[in-house]
């Protein structure tokens, strides 16, 4: 278990570009960067409200056909994962939130953008809303560096104003390029980080592999693989799901799945999205109510999360996500918030024995589900733009009991 001696936990994060063990022609150089889990002060906000606001804003934005949507900003995300990204020449480092539900990369929140000799002001404006945050400002083209990996002429938003991004410098958008539509003036869409890696021949397939180790593990490391995936981190075959045809989930990394608790189906086949910048697993209200009843949980007013007793935890059943005919199972331990980090979610009792569930109500007029990082840290995930699909496999941490 990780000691929570501060509200910031720094994890090592390994970025692997390519792998020689696959038939896909890939680069083989490796870049190491750091991943930081940023936790705001206890009680500042509510994870459920923040995640729900984000889901509703993403849903609205996709429906109107552009990523900027008017939204009431009432919640600040309490947690996010950042990578240190070098920008410009001479290079300056910025801590950017890794976001698979955004195509835009931008900076200027906690740290201002420094103009260097590689900076080009396009004269365009840029604006994006995330539900739990937003920004607006100017567009620049500049060089992005991840140690030995370099991307030239990358579109970067430079914020004049922003909300909801305290503790980070901006966002590294690794979602589909369609998510940039309407965000930059005088422009239809702008190339994403992944688009430019492909066009500049740093990778030969637009594929991103994501490996997250649960933050409650002592050795909390992770791996991003650009251009492929790392099979040595998997303990099963890969199951691929095509991008859903259902609107508006199809505009994101959207898939179809069903959810079963024990032997009872709580969500029939529904379309939703996979999102690294969402914390929880959000599901449709009917499914949430069925899960709440089946577990015997009560809604905790302070945290907004479902809370269970130790006895109820001992009786928790598997929560099974069926994707393309394959069952991906969250064990009872995987269904709970890391108990050593209860203060992060607003539990001021100081009792690490309190048990909260990481499944929450998504609310109305949104997706059937959003699978956030609490799902992704239990499975290897592959975001495959080239073949329009998302892949999943089990890992050594699928059945971890560290929570």
Q: What is the set of active-site residues? A: 99, 275
Which residue matches tokens 């429906």? 63
Strand order in the sheet with 306-308: 298-299, 306-308, 355-356
Which residues lie closer than 8 Å to 314 by C-beta, 6 or more apart? none
172: nearest Cα among 221, 93, 76, 107: 107
Half-sphere exposure of residue 125, counting CA atoms within 13 Å on the CB side? 7
308, two tokens? 């269970």
Torsion sign over Cα 233, 235, 239, 243: negative
Cβ–Cβ < 8 Å for 380, 397: no
371: nearest Cα among 133, 212, 139: 212
Cβ–Cβ < 8 Å for 133, 187: no
| Strands 319-323 vs 326-330: parallel, antiparallel or unpaired | antiparallel
3-state helix, strand, coil in the chain (%, to 5): 15, 40, 45
Alpha carbon of 200 to those of 107, 146, 203, 221: distances in Å?
23, 15, 8, 28
Cβ burial, residue 3 (10 Å; 0-12/13-18/19+): exposed
Which residues lie closer than 8 Å to 378 by C-beta, 6 or more apart? 214, 330, 334, 395, 397, 398, 400
Q: Which stretches within 200-284 are classed as H helix?
A: none
């Amino acid at each position: 278990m990780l000691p929570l001696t501060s509200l910031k936990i720094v994890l090592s994060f390994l970025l692997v570009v390519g792998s020689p063990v696959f038939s896909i022609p890939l680069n083989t150089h490796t870049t190491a960067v750091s991943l930081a889990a940023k936790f705001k002060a206890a009680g500042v906000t509510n994870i459920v409200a923040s995640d729900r606001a984000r889901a509703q804003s993403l849903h609205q934005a996709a429906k109107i056909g552009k990523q900027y949507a008017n939204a009431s900003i009432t919640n600040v995300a309490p947690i996010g994962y950042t990578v240190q990204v070098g920008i410009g020449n001479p290079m300056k480092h910025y801590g950017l939130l890794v976001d698979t539900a955004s195509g835009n990369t931008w900076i200027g929140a906690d740290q201002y953008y420094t103009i260097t000799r590689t900076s080009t002001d396009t004269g365009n404006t840029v604006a994006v809303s995330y539900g739990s945050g937003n920004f607006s400002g100017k567009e620049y083209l500049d060089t992005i560096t991840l140690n030995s990996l370099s991307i030239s002429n990358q579109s970067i938003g430079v914020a004049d104003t922003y909300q909801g991004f305290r503790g980070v410098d901006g966002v590294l958008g690794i979602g589909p390029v369609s998510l940039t539509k309407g965000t930059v003036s005088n422009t239809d869409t702008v190339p994403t980080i992944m688009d430019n890696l492909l066009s500049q021949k740093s990778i030969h397939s637009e594929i991103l592999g994501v490996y997250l180790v649960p933050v409650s593990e002592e050795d909390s490391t992770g791996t991003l693989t650009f251009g492929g995936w790392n099979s040595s981190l998997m303990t099963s075959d890969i199951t691929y799901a095509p991008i859903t045809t259902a609107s508006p989930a199809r505009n994101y990394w959207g898939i179809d799945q069903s959810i079963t608790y024990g032997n009872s189906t709580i969500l029939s086949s529904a379309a939703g999205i996979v999102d690294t910048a969402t914390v929880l697993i959000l599901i449709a209200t009917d499914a949430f109510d069925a899960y709440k009843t089946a577990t015997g949980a009560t809604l905790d007013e302070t945290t907004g999360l479902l809370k269970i007793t130790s006895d109820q935890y001992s009786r928790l059943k598997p929560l099974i996500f069926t994707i393309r005919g394959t069952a991906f199972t969250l064990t009872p331990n995987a269904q709970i918030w890391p108990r050593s980090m209860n203060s992060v979610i607003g539990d001021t009792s100081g009792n690490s024995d309190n048990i909260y569930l990481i499944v929450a109500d998504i609310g109305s007029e949104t997706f059937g589900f959003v699978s956030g990082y609490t799902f992704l840290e239990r499975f290897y995930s592959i975001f495959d733009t080239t073949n329009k699909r998302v892949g999943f496999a089990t890992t050594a941490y699928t059945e971890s009991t560290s929570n």
